[in-house]
Structure 1
Amino acid sequence: MIRKVLFSICFLLVALVGFSQRKYTREEYIEKYAELAVSEMMRSGIPASITLAQACLESGNGNSMLSVKSNNHFGIKCKSSWSGKRVYHDDDEKGECFRRYNSVEESFLDHSDFLMLNPRYASLFKLKITDYKGWARGLKKAGYATNPHYANHLIRIIEDHKLYLYDEGLKKSQIARIRHRHRPADGKNLINPYQTRKVVMRNGLKSIVVKEGDTFQRIAQEFGMKEWEVYTYNDYPRGHKPQVNEILYIEPKQRKAAKKHRTHRFEADDTMHFIAQRYGVKLKRLYRLNRLKPGERPETGATVYLRSKKPKN
C-alpha cells in the first residue's frame, strides 16, 4: 500500500514538473502576449507585429533558456548604460552579458525603450506604423542582429501569422481595455490629461517622446506651458525643431542623474545633449561634472560622470 502511495506521489510530481516545463507553440505565445505588444505600440509607436515577431524569434516562442530564466524575450545585451540585473550566456561570444528582468512585461517595456532611446534606430520611427517590412529591414540595417537573414525571418513570422493585423487599427473599446489591463504596476508611465500621449517619469521628471508633426508650440499648448519653458527645460535655443522620437521634458531637469546611473560610456554616435536628455540632467551641469567646456566632446569610450565630478588627472 505504501509503495502504491509513494508511486502515485512520484508520478504526480513528475507530471507537475513536466507540465510546468511544457513548451509554448508559436500560436500560444502570440495569443498570450499580443495585447502587451499592442499596448507598447500605443506607447512607443513600434508596430505590434514587429514586437511580436522579434519576441517569437529571439525567445524561441518563450522557450529559450534566456527567456525562461531571465525573462529576456528580445536578446538585449547589457550595454554600458544598463544598471539592472545581469545574466551571462553564450551567444556570439562565450559568457556575454544579457539583461535580466523581473517579469516578461518588464522585458517588453525595456525593448521599446531600447529602440526609442538609441539614435541608431531613430529613422525607423519615421516609417508608417503599418510598414512592417521597412521596420524589419531597418532593424537589420541598424545592427539589431548579426544574422544576415534576420529581416526575412521577421517578415515570414508576421505574414505566416498575420501579425500585421495588430498594426492596422483597433476600436476605441479595444484600446481602452488594453490600456486598462496593461497599466504598469509601478505607476511610472502616466497618461496626460488630454489622453494624447504617455508621460513617462525619468529621473523623477515628467517626459514625453516627440511624435510626427510635433512642434514646441504645440507641446507647450498641450501641457499648459509657455513655449520658452519647453526650450529652456530641454537646453535648446529658440527656433530648434524637435526630432521624432527624441525625449523632451516638461519640467526643469535635475543637477544629477538617479543613483542607479552614476556613469555612462560615451559611444561614437553619442552627444552630450543626448546624454543629458537620456538621464534628465541639465546640460551645463553635465559639462561641469565632466570638466568640459560647452561644446566639447569626450573621446569614444570615455566615462561620462552623471552624479559626481570627474576626478582630476
Structure 2
Amino acid sequence: MRKIITLCVLVIVVFSCGTNKVTVRKKASKRNKTEQVVNRKVSKDNANRDEAVVETVNSTGVKIASTEDYVALFKSIAQEEMRLYGIPASITIAQGILESNSGKGRLSVEANNHFGIKCHEWTGDRIFHDDDASQECFRKYSDAKYSYRDHSLFLTQRQRYSALFKLRKEDYKGWARELKKAGYATDSKYPEKLISLIERYELHKFDEEVLGGDYVKFEDPKVASGSTYIVEKGDSMYSISKKYNLTVKELQDLNNLPNTSLSVGQKLVIARSSGNSLASASNVSPKSALVTKLHIVEKGDTLYSISKKYNVPVSELQEINNLSDTAISIGQELQIKNR
C-alpha cells in the first residue's frame, strides 16, 4: 500500500514540473516576438546620419513646427537626389516647402506627397484632393522619401523637362523659371516664389555642399554686369521697377522711354552708370519729366472715369500714354501727369 501511495505522489510531482516548464517556454516565446516588432533598424551609434534622418522623418507622430524644421529633416534626402539625378537640392527643397506647405498640407500629411504630383499613369495608392479642379487624383506614398524619389523620376523621365538638365546646377533661378515654362505649375509667380524661398533660407548652400570644389557661383545672365535687364513675357514696367527698387519714372528716365510699353527681349538699363544723374537733361524726356503717378487699369475702368478721378482731360491721358483711341485693358499701366 505504501508503495502505491509513493508512486502516485511521484507521478503528480513530475506532471506538475512539466506543466510549469511548458508555461514558461510559451511566455518566453511570446515576449521575444514582441521585442522583434518594436526593434528599429538604426545602428546604435547612429553612424549613418542620413539613415537616422530618414527614420526620424518616418516615425509616427513627428510634427514639423516651422519651415526650418522641414529643411533640417529633408535636406539630406534632397542632396542625395541631387547626387543621383542632377536636380539642385535647393530647387527640390524649395518645391517641397511650397507644394507641401512645409509638410503641413493635407497631401503631405495623409499621402506623403510633398510635390503635388498627380496620378497620371500611376498604378499605386492614391488620394483625391481639390486642386485645379474638384477631387483630382494624386499619388500616395508609404513614406515621404519615396515622394522625393518620384519627384526626381518625374522630372528626369519626361521630355518636357529636358531643358532643365541643360542648365548649370548652380543656376537655381534658371531652374525655377524653366519649371514654370515646362508646365510644372500654373501659378504665374511660381519661379519668384521658389527663388524667394531659396534665398531666404539659403538653400543654395546645399548645392554647394554637394558640388564641393566644382561649385561656381552663378551670375544671372538676365542682369548683365548688374546694370541691364532683359524683358521677359509677362513683365511690365511696374513689376520690373519693384524688382529693382526703382520707380517707373526712374526706369523711363534711365532708358529714355516716352511711355511704359515694353517688348519681349528688350534690354533695359536698371542701374545708373558712374557720373550719370537722373536729373540730367540729356536723360529726361519732356513728357516723362512731368509724370509722377501710375494708374493700373481695373475692371470697370474707362479712360473717361480715370480722367475724372485724377482731374485730367481724356486728351491729356491719350497724349502722355501714346494712345490713339480710348481703348484700355485690365492691368494696363497709365501714366498720370503731375498737376
- What is the TM-score of this pair, normalised by structure 1? 0.47
Q: Which has the higher contact order (CA 8 A, sep 6+)?
A: 1
Larger Rg: 2
- What is the TM-score of this pair, normalised by structure 2? 0.44
Q: Which has the higher helix share?
A: 2
